[in-house]
Chains A and B, each alone.
Chain A
Amino acid sequence: MFLARGRLCTLGSRPKFLKTICASKILGLSTSAKMSLKFKNAKRIEGLDSNVWIEFTKLAADPSVVNLGQGLPDISPPVYVKEELSKIAAIDSLNQYTRGFGHPSLVKALSCLYEKFYQNQINPNKEILVTVGAYGSLFNAIQGLIDEGDEVIVIVPFYDCYEPMVRMAGAIPVFIPLRSKLVDGKKWSSSDWTLDPQELASKFNSKTKAIILNTPHNPLGKVYTKEELQVIADLCIKYDTLCISDEVYEWLVYTGNKHFKIATFPGMWERTITIGSAGKTFSVTGWKLGWSIGPKHLIKHLQTVQQNTVYTCATPLQEALAQALWIDIKRMNDPECYFNSLPKELEVKRNRMVHLLESVGLKPIVPDGGYFIIADVSLLDTDLSDMKNSNEPYDYKFVKWMTKNKKLSAIPVSAFCNAETKLQFEKFVRFCFIKKDSTLDAAEEIIKAWSRLKF
């Protein structure tokens, strides 16, 4: 086609003919080689195009698949949360722009809530920023504070966006894996996975701009103890490093565990950005509202990013969130408060999942928090020889096989690892348990049938 058009183009000898007959389409074609060079992506996104979620959500989209993959609740958000949003949809003034750094009633509610946990008062206008999900807060924090050539410590496994976001900022991720101690006979817990303090210290140097902390942790469910956080805090202070603390699962902590905010440790408020999520707090991931809390000398840079990226978040959703927060702020010690009732509900589901996974010979790691559980699938010794892409890690192949053959989906844990550590975690698969009972029943059916096949 190209050649034919090119030939047609040369039929007329006069340049004028070329201009009129050869429509720009042809011009476009003949410059297509040049075009593809000019239309190349900016360097900042080079190599960041693949994304585990895009791949795996497509796989799990088949409605006959029981989806325990993506961290998406299929339970209803609390009634009062839905009601608030419904009410707000009728209020006209909330259909127009609100304050860029956060809707006034929302930042006030957030300030009121979190002041209960911090020793200082939190200035709603200068020390809080409302973002497009916690994802947006991570983006604003990294874009605002991390520069080309900076080093950022990332703990493996990590929520998968940390690495590409750090790379997009031109910085160098420095990885350190959580390592498990040997467990004999007793249940394997997320608390068995720890950072080696000496190894961690070796990762810090004068170029370390920040460490990204995630507690409770995705995918392991680890809830960092006070002592573990103190080790990190000591290093941050010693090396004058920032801490970006992703605490989206802060309310989802199970019996015997407590969530600690590293920003409340001495010397840490001034160097920490603490990130929260409406989606995870109220089971409304589709609202895409998150927040960053920190000292004004850090938050102001996240605000600069905000005014040059999205400028403002959706108004009605922010107002509904504010109203929902007020309802629960007023009853923090009440078992009815969602911050208390949800973890109770999820602990039951967690225990059910642990039991289920153990019953079929999988080795789950009991999470102390969050809504995921990972399990070592190697004992199943599944025959994956017919899976193509033999250079993919074991867990990728396993999940694809399981989705196709067992109609059960999960997420491979090596997706949460950098290239060098993928092998360390390739026998682990992550299941999400913030699912209604009927979904877990269906998963149970599949797992029970699977275990019967083995014997």
Chain B
Amino acid sequence: MTKQLQARRLDGIDHNPWVEFVKLASEADVVNLGQGFPDFPPPDFAVEAFQHAVSGDFMLNQYTKAFGYPPLTKILASFFGKLLGQDIDPLKNVLVTVGAYGALFTAFQALVDEGDEVIIIEPFFDCYEPMTLMAGGRPVFVSLKPSPNQDGELDSSSSWQLDPTELASKFTSRTKALILNTPNNPLGKVFSRAELELVASLCQQHDVVCITDEVYQWLVYDGCQHVSIATLPGMWERTLTIGSAGKTFSATGWKVGWVLGPDSLLKHLRTMHQNSIFHCPTQAQAAVAQSFEREQLHFGQPSSYFVQLPQAIQRCRDHMIQSLKSVGLRPVIPQGSYFLITDISEFKSKMPNLPGAADEPYDRRFVKWMIKNKGLMAIPVSIFCSVPHQKLFDHYIRFCFMKVKDRPGGGKTSSSLPMPPAGVGRGVGPICVGAG
């Protein structure tokens, strides 16, 4: 072909760093603490729900309603209606999507126009930038920054904050949306009510849509509270709240997500949805509906998965923190999510010249070295940053602690909940040996 083959909307978004790292991990025999998915099963009730969906009524093998399988939109409306203190209509205020990833894409495409600005808080889940670009938008970055550390104690994700003046300066008359992620990937920060109030007041002042990615909403630790910005005064009418069955029920392979919001915004997402994929798979939606129905009955009780999971994962988190400390790394204690980041400055000073391309950020070169030489995979945090700011974050790598395999005893337990992963210490230990 003589003309440019691909559409210009793909300019600058064809490269995906994951492809490289996932390929590397699959080639070597590594302990994979990189990619964010559990290595333990979904809870029994969710597995049963899926089995029920695929072996019951054979008509579940056919198309369902385009905007969401009715029992799912119904339970999402009722469950989140209570949580968000809103009267949520399953037909007008809920849209089911192919994962939260699909929800994000639908929202950007429905609302972001050529030249619109989108405020993205760094570090950010990496798809926000290319999705903004693909919609013709202009990403405007503002960084979370760690507060100076007083007493040599480990940092917490809570000490990473936005400068209010700096944040305010990012809003212009062209700002269409701000994308918020709480709990945050990769940092694990859980935005406090006060921090959300700041964001909310700026969104209202500048009439901006808030797209809030809350996929890790149940994974909060140390008594931290997840706050949905849509519950703040004046925010429901300008907020799209995105959730994920994959993260909620430890079943990332089901690829069911949703958006909740006012009809005035959702109607545009519906238009986008009906002209992109139209329907989502029926049976996975049926399984998610049944799983939420079960959780609604147990809500707030010790038997609730949303209570048990964070308790179990907190133990995994704490175990990983201890393991990383024991080898001289400095993890940032996350308040939520499946991830933590750890400072590798010491390695950077001891081994500054790791192989890699000339301008390749240090953390990427370090991760490749670690995969090759230590059989351990993590994700370089510079992937979650805008190009101009990569140098600020090139001494951090991200670990996922939703992992339990490689336990010395081996095998599954009868409970579907994870035990602290002994394998983490085993994988991390060897780094220390190499560094010295």
CA distance A163 to B344 in the complex (A): 52
Q: Does residue B87 face the partner (Cβ distance < 8 Å to A)?
A: no
Complex CA distance for A51 and B272, rounded to whole angstroms: 11
Contact A132 B280 (CB under 8 A): yes
Please indicate the chain A residues that have their CB under 8 angstroms from the CB of B233 in the complex: 23-25
Judge if A70 is at the interface, Cβ distance under 8 Å.
Answer: yes
Binds B, one of A30-38, A109-117, A248-256, A398-406: A30-38
- Complex interface residues of chain B between 55 and 101 (CB less than 8 A to chain A): 55, 58-66, 98-99, 101
Q: CB within 8 Å of B: which of A26-53? A: 27-28, 31, 34-36, 38-39, 41-45, 48-49, 51, 53
Verify if B159 is at the interface (C-beta below 8 Å from A). Answer: no
Q: Please choose the segment from A143-151, A182-190, A223-231, A415-423 that sits at the chain B interface, where 4 or more of its residues have CB less than 8 A away.
A: A143-151
Of B7, B42, B66, B105, which contacts A169 at CB under 8 A?
Answer: B7
Chain B CB within 8 A of A304 CB? yes
Q: Is the CB of B111 within 8 A of A42?
A: yes
Which residues of the partner chain A approach B113 to less than 8 Å between Cβ atoms?
A: 42-44
Residues from chain A with Cβ under 8 Å of B37 in the complex: 96-97
Contact with B along A302-315 (1 / 0, CB 8 A): 00110111111111
State the CA gap A74–B57 with chains docked (Å). Answer: 11
Q: Is B417 an interface position by the 8 A CB rule?
A: no
Q: A289 vs B280: C-alpha distance in the bound complex, in angstroms? A: 10
Contacts known (A43-B113, A288-B281); A77 close to B61, Cβ less than 8 A: yes
Listed residue (A39, A287, A289) with the most chain B CB atoms within 10 angstroms of its CB: A39
Chain B 253-273 near chain A by CB (<8 Å), digits 1 or 0? 111000000001101101110
Tell yes or no: B186 within 8 A of A by CB.
no
Q: Say yes or no: B54 contacts A98, CB within 8 Å.
A: no
From A38, A77, A145, residue with most partner B Cβ within 10 Å? A38
- By the criterion CB–CB under 8 Å, are B41 and A309 in contact? no
Interface size in chain A (residues, C-beta < 8 A): 86
A283 sits at the interface (CB 8 A): yes
User: Judging by beta carbons under 8 Å apart, are A28 and B99 in contact?
Assistant: no
A40 to chain B, nearest CB (A): 8
Chain B residues positioned under 8 Å from A331 (CB to CB): none
Q: In the complex, A95 Cα to B66 Cα: how many Å?
A: 23
Chain A residues positioned under 8 Å from B7 (CB to CB): 143-147, 169, 301
**Which residues of B are found within 8 Å of A164, using beta-carbon distances?**
275
A88 to B54, CA, bound (A): 10
User: Is A309 a contact of B102 with CB atoms below 8 Å?
Assistant: yes
A73 beta carbon closer than 8 Å to chain B: yes
Is A94 an interface position by the 8 A CB rule? yes
Q: In whole angstroms, how far apart are the Cα atoms of A284 and B281 in the complex?
A: 10
B101 adjacent to A311 (CB under 8 Å): yes
Is A139 an interface position by the 8 A CB rule? Answer: yes
B51–A89 contact, CB under 8 A? yes
Interface residues of B in 243-293 (CB under 8 A from A): 246, 250-255, 264-265, 267-268, 270-272, 274-284
B278 in contact with A135 (CB, 8 Å): yes
Give the docked Cα–Cα distance between A146 and B6 (Å).
Answer: 7
- Shortest distance in angstroms between A311's beta carbon and chain B's nearest beta carbon? 5
Interface residues in B, total, Cβ within 8 A: 89
Q: Is A271 an interface residue (CB 8 A)?
A: yes
Interface locus among B9-17, B349-357, B389-397: B9-17
- Check B110–A286 contact: CB distance below 8 A: no
CA distance A298 to B4 in the complex (A): 11
| A241–B209 CA distance with the chains assembled, in angstroms | 40
| CB-based contact B10/A305 at 8 Å | yes
**B114 to A43, Cβ gap below 8 A?**
yes
Q: Which of B185-208 contact A (CB under 8 A)?
A: 200, 204, 207-208
User: Is B110 touching A45 in the complex (CB atoms < 8 A)?
Assistant: yes
Q: How far is the CA of A309 from the CA of B131 in the complex (A)?
A: 8
Kindly report which residue of chain A lies nearest to residue B256, judged by CB atoms: A314
Task: Please provide the chain A residues from 213 to 242 with a CB less than 8 Å away from any CB of chain B in the complex.
Answer: 240, 242
Chain B residue numbers with a CB within 8 Å of A97 are: 35, 37, 246, 252-253
Q: Are B275 and A168 in contact (CB under 8 A)?
A: yes
* Closest Cβ–Cβ distance, residue B164 to chain A (whole Å): 17
Tell me, yes or no, whether A379 is within 8 Å of chain B by CB: no
A76 close to B (CB within 8 Å): yes
| Contact A286:B61 (CB < 8 A) given known A89-B47, A145-B5, A313-B98 | yes
A161, B281: Cβ atoms closer than 8 Å: no
B110, A41: Cβ atoms closer than 8 Å = yes
Q: How far is the CA of A420 from the CA of B258 in the complex (A)?
A: 37
Q: With A96-B38, A147-B7, A169-B7 in contact, is A41–B204 under 8 Å at CB?
A: no
CB–CB B253/A98 < 8 A: yes
Partner of B271, one of A45, A86, A165: A45
A54 within 8 A of B: yes
Chain B nearest CB from A169 CB (Å) reads 7
Any B CB within 8 A of the CB of A82: yes
State which residues 57-104 of A face B: CB under 8 Å: 57, 70, 72-74, 76-77, 82, 85-86, 88-90, 92, 94-98, 100
* CA gap between A86 and B287 in the complex, in Å: 13
Known pairs A24-B200, A42-B135, A97-B253 / 14 extra A-B pairs, C-beta < 8 Å: A28-B204, A49-B267, A72-B63, A86-B51, A148-B8, A297-B5, A301-B7, A308-B127, A308-B130, A310-B101, A310-B277, A311-B127, A314-B255, A315-B253
Q: Which residues in A have some Cβ–Cβ distance to B below 8 Å? A: 23-25, 27-28, 31, 34-36, 38-39, 41-45, 48-49, 51, 53-54, 57, 70, 72-74, 76-77, 82, 85-86, 88-90, 92, 94-98, 100, 132-133, 135-136, 139, 143-148, 161, 164-165, 168-169, 209, 240, 242, 271, 279, 283-289, 297-298, 300-301, 304-305, 307-317
A-B contact pairs, 9 of them (CB 8 A): A39-B264, A41-B268, A43-B113, A82-B58, A95-B253, A96-B252, A133-B278, A309-B102, A314-B255
Across the A-B interface, give the 4 residue pairs with the lowest CB-CB distance, nearest first. Answer: A24-B234, A315-B253, A286-B282, A41-B268
